[in-house]
Amino acid sequence: MGVYYLDERQFTAFVTAVIQAKRVVGPVARRARFAYEDLESADDLRLDFDVTILPPKSVFFPPEQAIARFDGDEVSSCICPVDTVLFGVHFYDVKAIDQLDFLFRENNADWDYLCQREATTIVGSNIQAVSSRAFWDSVGTEVQPLGHDAFLTKIGSGYVFKTRTPKGEALLEYGDFREATQNEIAEAERVNAAVMGTCSERLAYTTEQIAEKVRDSFGNEKMWDELAERCFSCGSCNTVCPTCYCFDVVDSWNLDQKSGSRTRYWDACLTREFAAVTGAGGSKENFREHHSSRFRHRFMRKTTYLNDKLGGPACVGCGRCSQACTADIADPVRVITKIMEWTS
């Protein structure tokens, strides 16, 4: 694919033309924070965002998603993909989407996710502002983002637009692009390299070192109790995480007791009831009853269990969990550093 340039004065016209042709989702300002929303005007797009409250996975995996309707023995799917352009995804969130793409494809493909994913064109964008709790420049650095179709980098008074796929290339028809010069391409590379090393939080260990120590710490009940002491099991750290993908499925019956719908909702492994099951004869069991075992499970998932499958940790360093945790105990940098330095 190619590398193009769009003058800043043409950018609004480009985004406006895409909005007129397709559904467009991008980061917009919400008070002092940012959120991905459907764009009605190009003026609302804020590519200078630091991090969004919820991750962009919600375009393909919404917090609440109808998956089937039923009437007696008849069942119909609710899959209805919409041609969508997702603008302004930072590289760490592209890495998180890559993980979900793999996980929702393996074994039984999840078409409720994959159909909307395939109908979406992802336009990455360079990081213009760094979130105070981010650490994306020191976690999983061995993994490169792959799932975007094009990438926008702001340089001087314009944008370098690098396409990766035919879907990315197809957006060229909406803007007054020209081929980028070697100087513009080099400047975009410089801008993207310069942001690395600017996060204020930092992991001082490799993925392998962390995985080994966290795995070896599984039985250290004293340490997990201490780390999770102030956890009140709200599940916020799961809810905002771009790599979390657990969901619950609920059937709702209409008054005729014959028809209804099946809906899935994001679930959170830190909540008390997540691991509660009913056994034979109505017996109840909760196999992660204590908050410290749920807290431990989250860190096992993020740093060890999925590494072989994903080629790196299941954490991309966005820092959303650190911002969302009222008790301020969810920050992976602080927790992992404590585990790495634990001596007793």
Nearer to ligand SF4, 45 or 268 (CB): 268
Phi, psi of 298, deg, nearest 5:
-60, -45
State the binding string over 189-228 for ligand SF4 (x if CB under 6 A, else -): ----------------------------------------
Pairing of strands 33-38, 120-125: unpaired
Whole-angstrom Cα distance, residue 204 to residue 195? Answer: 18
Residues with Cβ within 8 Å of residue 292, at least 6 apart in sequence: 221, 224, 225, 227, 228, 229, 231
Contact (Cβ atoms closer than 8 angstroms) between residue 181 and residue 10: no
Q: Binding to ligand SF4 by residue 237, rule CB under 6 A? A: yes
Whole-angstrom Cα distance, residue 168 to residue 87? Answer: 11
> At closest approach, how far in Å is the CB of 242 from ligand SF4?
5
**Which of 293, 272, 276, 273 is closest to 285 using CA atoms?**
276
3-state secondary structure of 339: helix
Whole-angstrom Cα distance, residue 21 to residue 80? Answer: 18
> At closest approach, how far in Å is the CB of 76 from ligand SF4?
35
- Binding to ligand SF4 (CB under 6 A) within 262-301 occurs at 270
Sign of torsion over alpha carbons 148, 311, 329, 195? negative
3-state secondary structure of 337: helix
Phi, psi of 156, deg, nearest 5:
45, -120
- Scanning 61-69, 70-78, 191-199, 234-242 for contacts with ligand SF4 by CB under 6 A, the matching segment is 234-242
Q: Binding to ligand SF4 by residue 317, rule CB under 6 A? A: yes
Q: Which of 316, 335, 336, 339 binds ligand SF4 (CB under 6 A)?
A: 316
Q: Which of 67, 103, 130, 234 binds ligand SF4 (CB under 6 A)?
A: 234
3-state secondary structure of 313: coil
Q: Binding to ligand SF4 by residue 6, rule CB under 6 A? A: no
Q: Binding to ligand SF4 by residue 28, rule CB under 6 A? A: no
Count the residues of the shown chain that bind ligand SF4, applying the rule CB under 6 A: 26
Q: Which of 163, 319, 335, 339 binds ligand SF4 (CB under 6 A)?
A: 319
Q: Which of 100, 321, 335, 336 binds ligand SF4 (CB under 6 A)?
A: 321
- Scanning 113-121, 183-191, 303-311, 324-332 for contacts with ligand SF4 by CB under 6 A, the matching segment is 324-332
Q: Binding to ligand SF4 by residue 94, rule CB under 6 A? A: no
Q: Binding to ligand SF4 by residue 315, rule CB under 6 A? A: yes
Q: Binding to ligand SF4 by residue 18, rule CB under 6 A? A: no
Secondary element (H or E) of residue 41: none
Q: Which of 46, 320, 336, 339 binds ligand SF4 (CB under 6 A)?
A: 320
Q: Which of 325, 335, 336, 339 binds ligand SF4 (CB under 6 A)?
A: 325
Task: Enter the DSSP assignment of 101.
Answer: H
Whole-angstrom Cα distance, residue 315 to residue 2? Answer: 31
Q: Which of 138, 236, 304, 307 binds ligand SF4 (CB under 6 A)?
A: 236
Contact (Cβ atoms closer than 8 angstroms) between residue 102 and residue 42: no
Distance of CA 300 to CAs 214, 251, 341, Å? 7, 31, 17
Q: Which of 29, 82, 277, 327 binds ligand SF4 (CB under 6 A)?
A: 327
Give residue 158's identity as a one-letter amino acid code: G
Nearer to ligand SF4, 178 or 215 (CB): 215
Tell me which residues touch ligand SF4 (CB under 6 A): 231-237, 240-243, 270, 302, 315-321, 324-325, 327, 329-330, 332
